[in-house]
Amino acid sequence: MMSEGKKEKGVTIEEQIGKYHQSIFGFNTMLILGAGCKIGIFDYLYEKGKSSTQDKITSITFTPEEIILNLKLSPFYLDGWLHMAVACGIFELEDSCERCLISAPHIYDLFINRDSMFYKGNTAALMNIMALNQEFLINNFKTGNTKDYRDFPPEDCKNGQVVSTIGGAKFEQLFSNRKADFQMKFMNNGLFLEVGCGYGFNLEAWVKKYEKVKFVGIDIDPNGIAEAKKLIQKKGWEDRVELIEVSVSDYAKTNSNKFDLIMLKQVLHEMDSNENYRRQALEDIYTMLKDDGILIIGENMIPDLFKSRNEVNFFQILHKMLDLPFGSRFYDDDTFKELIYSTSFKKAEKIEGDDIYFWAITK
Ligand SMILES: C[S@@+](CC[C@H](N)C(=O)[O-])C[C@H]1O[C@@H](n2cnc3c(N)ncnc32)[C@H](O)[C@@H]1O
């Protein structure tokens, strides 16, 4: 109930409207960035930056006309997009030339230069996919229907995995810092299996570092495996990496190898949501792991809504929201441990770094 005047819990209605306006602003910024990625405007500006003779590029200047010409875009639509992009602070008017625009400070590194460590373009494109799927999402609130992620356009799935594998190298660093003894043995002639390797972006970081290790990547997504194969071929790593389009259960039936390290990174929540299926998949993994091997599972732990008052992690919740159309089912620490201890595995240890964590699971 409203207390006296316009104040409720110390917040005025104007302040609350301010937050709402900020959200509209943020929402439009994401739409503009996502559309810019999908239309190819940021790619065009990236290529333009790369062809420059300058040593270090920090911003990029352009005219609307060159974008229209090079990308064959409608001047009418581009004009609207640019108005909004300026209003959202992505570009500024550049006075040094006629009818020119310039990327606002740091925008080049954040959204144009995909080689930058600060690059966030893929996340922006993912937000755009989320916006595009609102109608599907809304219709399903009543039916609870879901869709197989493999029915979404492969380029969207690929982009989703670019985002989900951001931090793949950090994951490996956390493993090598906290499991140093194991890592020393593993790096000499280990055998590594990635279940749900998707487009191969995680494997890239591991294969590069562990030159004496043999790798197997499996996934049920044919597009992911086809792209992963291309990536491994491009790097010349075919003799160390085997990629197979197969489910973990079918692979376990034919595989005779025992692995030192098996990794599932952001896979469990997306597997068939039937708990028995997941338990059996973990049992299959158990049989493929050496007795002194480690299973590492990277999953966003999402607590029950009413237990989570002090520990809401926005990006983990965003992951849950983004995965609603696929019917993904997540765990919190307790339910995850319950699942693991209902299998033959004996120990599940949560290894936490500064901003990431994984579970080290052993026999
Ligand atoms: C969200 S992606 C994660 C990709 C990557 N591991 C990462 O870190 O981002 C989940 C992947 O698991 C795969 N997957 C789901 N169920 C699987 C199963 N039963 N066996 C093998 N792969 C599976 C999906 O096809 C998808 O490529």
Closest by CA position to 262, among listed 221, 212, 215: 215
CA pair distance 124, 37, nearest whole angstrom: 8
Q: For 13-132, CATH number?
A: 1.10.10.10
Give domain limits for the chain: 13-132, 164-362
CA pair distance 94, 219, nearest whole angstrom: 48
248 lines ligand 1 (CB under 6 A): yes
202 lines ligand 1 (CB under 6 A): yes
Mean pLDDT of all residues belonging to the chain: 92
Average pLDDT rounded to a whole number, residues 78-102: 96
Q: In the predicted model, is pLDDT for residue 2 greater than 60? A: no
Average pLDDT rounded to a whole number, residues 240-245: 98
Q: Residue 111 — pLDDT band, cuts 50, 70, 90?
A: very high
297 lines ligand 1 (CB under 6 A): no
pLDDT in tens, 40-56: 999 999 999 999 888 88
Is 164-362 assigned to CATH 3.40.50.300?
Answer: no
195 lines ligand 1 (CB under 6 A): yes
Return the pLDDT at 309.
63
CA pair distance 149, 160, nearest whole angstrom: 10
Q: In the predicted model, is pLDDT for residue 310 greater than 70? A: no
Distance 270 CA to ligand 1 centre (A): 7
pLDDT in tens, 127-159: 888 888 888 889 999 999 998 888 888 888 888
- Unique residue bearing structure tokens 């597009």: 223
Average pLDDT rounded to a whole number, residues 3-14: 75
Closest by CA position to 338, among listed 359, 311, 318: 359
Q: Residue 306 — pLDDT band, cuts 50, 70, 90?
A: confident
Residue nearest to atom 10 of ligand 1 (CA): 267
Residue nearest to atom 17 of ligand 1 (CA): 271
Fold agreement between 13-132 and 164-362: no
Return the pLDDT at 131.
84
* Atom of ligand 1 at shortest range from CA of 264: 6
Q: In the predicted model, is pLDDT for residue 92 greater than 90? A: yes
Distance 330 CA to ligand 1 centre (A): 14
Q: Residue 195 — pLDDT band, cuts 50, 70, 90?
A: very high
Q: In the predicted model, is pLDDT for residue 258 greater than 60? A: yes
From 170, 204, 219, the mutation candidate for ligand 1 (largest count of ligand atoms within 8 A of CB) is 219
Long-range contacts of 202-205 (CB under 8 A, 24+ apart): 202/165, 202/168, 202/171, 202/263, 202/265, 203/228, 203/232, 203/241, 204/168, 204/231, 204/235, 205/168, 205/169, 205/172
